[in-house]
Amino acid sequence: MSRTKFLSSTLNLLLTGQRKMQSSHRPCNLLCPVAPYAAAAPRLQQRPAHLLGTKRLLSPPRRHSEARLLSGMTPMATSSSPTANPQPFKLILGSSSVARKNILNEMGFEFQVMTADIDERSIRREDPDELVMLLAEAKADAIMSRMNISDYQKEGDQPTLLITSDIVVVHEGIIREKPSSKEEARQFLKGYSGGHVSTVGGVVVTNLTTGKKLGSLDKAEVYFHDIPDEIIENLVWSRLNLLQGVF
């Protein structure tokens, strides 16, 4: 299945109502093949060769990269495809992530960006699967709380879909999120050198027109070669240290 083939089938479920969705007040535990972290799996191969060893997605029949969530849907016309048909839905990306925006742009979708602006550290769980789903859903709830939902439920209007997500890195059983300082980022990277980490991503797609939701998890393992101190310092002083688990 191509990278763009999955985000679509999931959105189709939301548009057609063929699957029972969970309440927005509970974590979405549906393990149908929906999105993980938008930038993690598809773009890990673009890391420097000395940083990355091998990447293995876990349970490929059930877990897919976030870019696949929109697969099969008709994109909006772009400068590179002026004859493309209009997409049959409106799309809101609940994230300011440049990587996530780039993925949707590359797939030819038009979308609006809204940010949740929540205190992610106020939501704590020991189980990374539960944590990322709670965070993704909390972001959706925060964005929806600032909307007049009735504006999206007018008869005859295109459905509007909201995508929110979160990712954590798990290293030696410890959940790691965005480092709080450069020193912490440095410690993270030194710990990864010659070892491996797991990533756990969760995505929730909300149909604002019907109120239905669909959510799922994606997991991957990433193996590192030894990382030279010089490379670690370069990464620490780059924007990479602002990402989850310095990832």
How far apart, in Å, are the Cα atoms of 3 and each of 72, 111, 125, 143, 218? 10, 19, 31, 27, 14
Give the CA count within 13 Å in the CB-facing half-sphere of 136.
35
CA distance 135 to 241: 20
Strands 90-93 and 112-113: parallel
Longest pairwise C-alpha distance within the chain = 59
- CA-based Rg of the chain, rounded to a whole angstrom? 18
Active-site choice (151, 166, 218, 229)? 166
166 catalytically annotated: yes
Phi-psi region of 117 (alpha: psi -120 to 50; beta: other; left: phi over 0): left
The angle subtended at Cα 12 by Cα 6 and Cα 16, nearest 5°, is: 160
Residues labelled catalytic: 166
